[in-house]
Chain A
Amino acid sequence: MGKAFAEKVLARAAGLSDVRPGEIVDVYPDLYMSHMASWRCIRTLEKMGTDKLYDPERIAMVMDHISPARIAKTADDQRLCREFAVRKGINKFYDVEAGIAHVVLMEAGHIRPGMVVIGTDSHSTIYGALGALGTGVGFSEITAAWVTGKLWMKVPESIKVIIEGPLARGTSSKDVMLKLIGDLTADGATYCSVEFHGSYVERLSISDRMTLCNLAMELGAKNAFVRPDEITRSYLGERGVPPGQYTEIHPDPDPVYVKSVTIDGRSLVPQIACPHTVDNVKPIDQVAGTKVNQVFVGSCANAKYEDLVEAARILKGRKIAPGVRLLVSPASKEIVARTVKDGTYSILLEAGALITNPGCSACAGDGGVMADGEVTLSTANRNFQGRMGSYNAEIYLGSPAVAAATAVRGVITDPREFL
């Protein structure tokens, strides 16, 4: 019997020849990501009474979630991180202008196939888009890794998700994932490594792979994975990382999967996750017409360059509905630059969007919050109660195309009407 991706990559990072699902092993991650929580790690380090770091080269810090600071306490926390990075020679430090940690680190070429990456953020599963094992941990664990270089991990079982394409008109990787989450429910992949296979995934853009792997978290996954290929190599090559600088790890041809699920993208329709859970998913015709006060195009799931271009395709030459707020928060500085250069930025502005600085923005409740009784259609990955302002407000989740169509009509709208 062959091995799934997670077993192979964890064996490598644990320095063992063989590991089995269920086993608890000490893993030496290749990169430790911390975002706004970095200051908590630094304070915890002080409490431990040491400041010896295992390997500063493996530490990556990105000042996202709240950027720039809105209150003095946050400014103070961010200063602590900045000064710590200088003092400790942490080269992978990105300040408040950079954007969302996940996207920033991938764009910078820090995430490579075959790596094990831990992050103070649950959506660290996104790193599977580049063939790495990414998983979320608490800040104490990051601090522990800073000092000891290691972390206990349970070797997960693996689930195979086969997506057959091409996707039906008006649907995207977001709709694929919402459908999957609706079918499998929010704990459908708890503790598991989710591997994406099938004709849709082959030759898929890194941006769409990021959406797949990011949203795998909403199934409870420990990590997600797309097999590295030419697309992966050229993405990294463009970012100054030639194939000689990493070792790809692929699953064997015949691993044991605890579950295998097939999604037929050819017959997919746009999907919406309704309040207040991500697995409360309905095909769009069941919620079309729901009035919204705000549309948010943002988050690490769907505010990448390709997502903004997709939204702009529908918004071009149109105006958003009166009384609706359209908030666009690009995922990174690089994305802002690209959209400015190719005119996407102006299309969004002219349609009536408020474009914020890159970062988590409304997804983290950092600006763009809602009043009592308000409704937002969001491209983010969570619709939990109270995540964007009032506890009595509602969040619906959909694709960038749904968001754009909804902004134009002021009610949840099927994007196929515009295509």
Chain B
Amino acid sequence: MTEKIGGRLIKFGDNVNTDVIIPGRYLVSIDPQELAKHAFEPMGTEVQKRLWSSQVVVGGKNFGCGSAREQAASCLIGCGIKAVVAKSFSRVFFRNCINTGLPAVECSEAAEAALDGGELWIDLEQGMVEVQGESFSFASYPESLKQILEAGGLIPYLAKYVLPQQEALKRHTPELSRR
């Protein structure tokens, strides 16, 4: 992961919730392309058009709060979004991004500095965000999460690295809470 990722950004405010990112009525699908058509639909078609031509989503505090729906991350991938940068993320949304292979970067200063329609570039390896001619650093991912992102998400990661050693793994289960 040495290349920079990024491009044009679309900026949102605080507490953008999953029902706005992808309304519950569309969860019958898990196809990112199909879901992309309805991403941010409650905000109207103007916002959607700008979303579809952007590569980075920038959010404020608590981005992606609400439901555990994984489609909130995958619909953005369907839109062509390469990364999400926010002041902070809701817990499940952050997990869903990593697990679907979409880099989610927590960087308050960068989210603050970003201007709607401007450009933003991320160097995941260095833990740097460039926006508005400035560079900001962020805490880089722990190794285990990096591997998942590099593989393109949790499922491809498991298929590649974990399943082949499945049998060996079984032996390490800790003692259960008595069921």
Binding site for A on B (CB under 8 A): 15, 17-20, 23-25, 27-28, 30, 41-42, 61-62, 65-70, 73, 88, 90-92, 95-96, 99-100, 142, 144-145, 153-155, 158-159, 162-163, 166, 169-170, 172-179
Q: A48-B163, A147-B166 are in contact. Are A220 and B90 (CB under 8 A)?
A: yes
Q: A50-B163, A365-B25, A384-B17 are in contact. Are A140 and B179 (CB under 8 A)?
A: no
Nearest CB of chain B from residue A378's CB, rounded to whole Å: 14
A15 touches B65 (CB 8 A): no
Contacts of A73 in B (CB 8 A): 28
Chain A interface size, under 10 / 10 to 19 / 20 to 34 / 35 or more: 35 or more
CB-nearest residue of chain B to A119: B68
Nearest CB of chain B from residue A40's CB, rounded to whole Å: 5
Among candidates A54, A122, A365, residue contacting B92 with C-beta atoms closer than 8 Å: A122
Q: A24-B142, A391-B42 are in contact. Are A148 and B162 (CB under 8 A)?
A: yes
B67 touches A187 (CB 8 A): no
Contacts of A48 in B (CB 8 A): 155, 158-159, 163
A187 touches B15 (CB 8 A): yes
Contacts of A136 in B (CB 8 A): 67-68, 92
CB-nearest residue of chain A to B148: A152
**Is A63 engaged at the interface, CB distance under 8 Å to the other chain?**
no
Nearest CB of chain B from residue A136's CB, rounded to whole Å: 4
Nearest CB of chain B from residue A116's CB, rounded to whole Å: 8
CB-nearest residue of chain A to B93: A138
Report the separation of the CA atoms of residues A246 and B176 in the bound assembly, to the nearest whole angstrom: 9
0 or 1 for each of A373-390: is its CB under 8 Å from B? (1 = yes): 000000000101111000
Instruction: List 12 contacting pairs A-B, 8 Å CB cutoff, sorted by A.
Output: A40-B70, A49-B159, A124-B68, A141-B154, A147-B163, A150-B169, A187-B62, A190-B90, A190-B91, A246-B178, A246-B179, A365-B23
B155 touches A144 (CB 8 A): yes
Beyond the given A48-B159, A187-B88, could you list 16 further A-B residue pairs with CB under 8 A, ordered by the A residue number? A13-B174, A50-B166, A77-B28, A112-B179, A113-B177, A137-B68, A137-B92, A140-B96, A141-B154, A147-B166, A190-B88, A365-B25, A384-B17, A384-B19, A386-B19, A386-B42
CB-nearest residue of chain A to B142: A24
Q: A120-B68, A122-B66 are in contact. Are A382 and B90 (CB under 8 A)?
A: no
Contacts of A115 in B (CB 8 A): 177, 179
Contacts of B69 in A (CB 8 A): 138
Binding site for B on A (CB under 8 A): 12-16, 24, 28, 30, 37, 40, 43-44, 47-50, 52, 54, 57, 71, 73-74, 77, 112-116, 119-122, 124, 136-141, 143-144, 147-150, 152, 186-187, 190-191, 220, 222, 244-247, 249, 277, 279, 364-365, 382, 384-387, 391
From DSSP, what is the main secondary structure of chain A's interface residues? loop
Nearest CB of chain A from residue B8's CB, rounded to whole Å: 26
B158 touches A148 (CB 8 A): yes
CB-nearest residue of chain B to A113: B177
Nearest CB of chain B from residue A367's CB, rounded to whole Å: 12
Contacts of A77 in B (CB 8 A): 28
Contacts of A114 in B (CB 8 A): 177
A30 touches B91 (CB 8 A): no
Report the separation of the CA atoms of residues A348 and B170 in the bound assembly, to the nearest whole angstrom: 52
Among candidates A15, A113, A140, A246, residue contacting B155 with C-beta atoms closer than 8 Å: A140
Report the separation of the CA atoms of residues A43 and B91 in the bound assembly, to the nearest whole angstrom: 25
